Amino acid sequence: MRKAVFFICFIFVIILTACTDFSADEDKPSDFEKQEENKLADHSSVPASKPEKNQADADEKPKEEAVSLPEPQYKINEHNWSIEPINQANSKVVLLTIDDAPDKNALEMARILKKLSAPAIFFVNGHFIDTPEEAKVLKEIHELGFAIGNHTNSHLNLKSLPEEQQYKEIVDLNDRVEEIIGERPKFFRAPFGSITDYSRKIAEAENMVLMNWTYGYDWEKEYQSKEALADIMVNSPYLSKGANVLMHDREWTKEALEDIVKGLRNKGFTPVDPVLISTETK
């Protein structure tokens, strides 16, 4: 009897142990399940992808702000080359212009005018901007805020030139100026004031306003000193409202420049900003 009880207990223990081992095996993942779990784990470790940038945004380049120019307040009178007000603009103005630039004095003259807050047009010749150093001078004058005008490549009398050469004298210079400062001149002054019918057509095609002058003296020997030039420029009988004042890139003009500007202002004249002059050519 005791042996039977012992045998039954022994069988029960064996069955219980087998069930426990089977249960433990069920709780463990199979090799296949392990592989699948590893794959899921691998995928879950990949960073979430960032939203793709809108292609339109990606392709969009920064837009340059459009430069809005002020409405013209003046125009050039081609009968006497004076500066005329449009509507109710101040009529007691003068236009300061510097020809034959940029030779040896133009940059310093520009700095003097900048210090005096006196705007002007620098009319340039091509033979003064044919080296990198000279081009740098022109660029600096422009960056100081001064308008750049066309005074031809070689300062020849256009009336003595065939049309083809006149074209090159004017248009080639515009091309060169644009290379240096990024824009073409808006004003044209022929050397010696010799405007031809053909150069007039070229200027119109190039959208340049024709310009000569009211008075100037610095090429005359008796005015080639600081004192004499400053005096005649301020007290000229031709000084009037809208006068188109001609000066040149000369040492004595540079020396007299500050006195000229101050003298004109003392007489109530304001140097007009060329940006306020209409460049309408049609």
182-229: pLDDT as tens digits:
999 999 999 999 999 999 999 999 999 999 999 999 999 999 999 999
Instruction: Name, in order, each residue with C-beta under 8 angstroms of 188's C-beta and a sequence gap of 6 or more.
Output: 149, 150, 170, 199, 203, 206, 208, 209, 210, 211
Hey, where are the domains in the chain?
2-44, 74-276
The pLDDT > 90 percentage for the chain reads 74
Find, among 227, 236, 169, 239, the residue nearest to 198 by Cα: 169
Q: What is the pLDDT of residues 20-52, one digit of tens each?
A: 443 444 344 444 344 434 433 343 333 333 334
Selection from 264, 277, 209 nearest residue 238 by Cα: 264
Q: Note the helical H segments in 150-195.
A: 163-167, 173-181
Measured distance CA(252)–CA(246) in Å, rounded: 14
Amino acid present at 218: D
Q: Give which of 189, 192, 145, 152 is closest to 170, Cα–Cα.
A: 152
The fourth-level CATH superfamily of domain 74-276 is: Glycoside hydrolase/deacetylase (3.20.20.370)
- For residue 179, give both structure tokens: 């290379």
Reported confidence tier of residue 281, pLDDT bands at 50, 70, 90: confident
3-state secondary structure 189-214: CCHHHCCCHHHHHHHHHCCCEECCCC
